[in-house]
Structure 1
Amino acid sequence: MNITPLDITQKQFKTAFRGLDREEVEGFLALVAAEFEALVKENLALREDNRRKAEDIVEYKGRERALQETLVTAQKASEEIRESARKEAEITISDAELQAEKIVQGAHSRFLRIVDDINELKRQRVQFEANVRTLVESHLKLIEAFREPSREEAVQFMPAARKRVADE
């Protein structure tokens, strides 16, 4: 049975012979009714406060769940970004290694061409030197052949020439 402050104040007692002092009973009932009313109001306020706090807890739990989901999503996104960056880095490194290999091969090919060119130039130089030497030697022989005979040679040449002329 729920008793309200109004029930307390309106409660009527039967009067009996040698009963209680009516004013004292009514004063006490008024005091009890006032205290009871204060307790009921406090109880209602506490229930309302409790209800609000329960709603707040539900709201906070919802926020917490959303934050946890956001955190999990952010962690997954971070992991995906990290994995994507790693793969991109691997691709970039592979491309750089491939380009470096092409550059090295190109440089090696050019080196081989240059070595071949140097060897060809050396061969041409040797051939040129040989040609020049042959030309110089042949010119020396020509010079020697057309050179004036020295006096000694002329003196030796004269009697032989006279003899030849006389023989003719």
Structure 2
Amino acid sequence: MVLSPQDIHNKEFSTKLRGYNIDEVNDFLDQIIKDYQIVLQENKDLSGQLAESKDKLSYFNDLKDSLNQSILVAQEAADKVKTNSKKEAEITNREAQKKADDILNAADEKANNILEEASRRAKKLAIETDDLRKNTRVFRQRLQVMLESQLEVIKGSDWDHLVEETPTTTYEDIEKVVGDLDNTSNSGVESRTKQDNHTDVVEDAVNVDDPNETVVYYPDDANK
């Protein structure tokens, strides 16, 4: 059993012959009581500090566990956010790629349509140009034939006879010469036109056999 200061104070000793001095013993016991009270108070204070430290230690241990749990939760949340962000980025990337592909496909289709339309118009223009060139050549040939025929008629002896100042020239003679001029012109134009058409067919045949020449097929020629 632990002695208290009161126990020390109430302690009584028996006296014997030639024993210790009672006053000195009492003074020493008083000093022991004081020192013992100080030690007990320090022990009490230390016990209180120890209890407080234990409480703080328990609090910090609980806080540490809570922080560790919070860190785990935060880590899990961060992992989920990272995973979701990665999935959303992949989805966004796929959607952007799809939109880009759609835009490129639409642009390619539009460009192809424009090229096809331009090619069709170029072919049509080439055909029309070639037709115009042929028609112009035919017109030129016909005009040349007509002028040559008229010139030949004008240079003929009939016109010489017609313009002579003789009393034998009559209205019937002039009408006959003019009628012959018309008949000669018409027959010359028709004959030269047939010859020109035959020449065009021959030229087309020659162009087909020539590998260096560009051949244009016309619907009218194909039907023939």
**Normalized against structure 1, the TM-score is what?**
0.87
Percent identical: 21
Structure 2 counterpart SS, 1:147: helix
The corresponding residue for 2:100 is 100
How do 1:8-47 residues align onto structure 2 when only pairs under 5 Å count? 8-47=8-47
Q: Answer yes or no: is the 8 Å Cα contact 2:9–2:33 preserved in 1.
A: yes
Structure 2 residues without counterparts, runs of 5 or longer:
162-172, 178-224
Aligned Cα root-mean-square deviation (Å): 2.5
CA distance in structure 1 between the aligned counterparts of 2:75 and 2:57, rounded to whole angstroms: 26
CA distance in structure 2 between the aligned counterparts of 1:49 and 1:140, rounded to whole angstroms: 130
Q: Does 1:57 align with 2:53?
A: no
Structure 2 counterpart SS, 1:16: coil
CA distance in structure 1 between the aligned counterparts of 2:108 and 2:139, rounded to whole angstroms: 46
CA distance in structure 1 between the aligned counterparts of 2:135 and 2:20, rounded to whole angstroms: 164
Structure 1 residues without counterparts, runs of 5 or longer:
none
1:39-68 CA distances to partner (integer Å, 9 max, x unpaired)? 111000000000000000000111111111
Displacement, 1:153?
A: 5.8
CA distance in structure 1 between the aligned counterparts of 2:44 and 2:140, rounded to whole angstroms: 139
1:49-94 CA distances to partner (integer Å, 9 max, x unpaired)? 0000000000011111111111111111111111111111100110
The corresponding residue for 1:78 is 78
Q: Answer yes or no: is the 8 Å Cα contact 2:9–2:30 preserved in 1.
A: yes
The corresponding residue for 1:147 is 147
Q: Which amino acid aligns with 1:109?
A: E
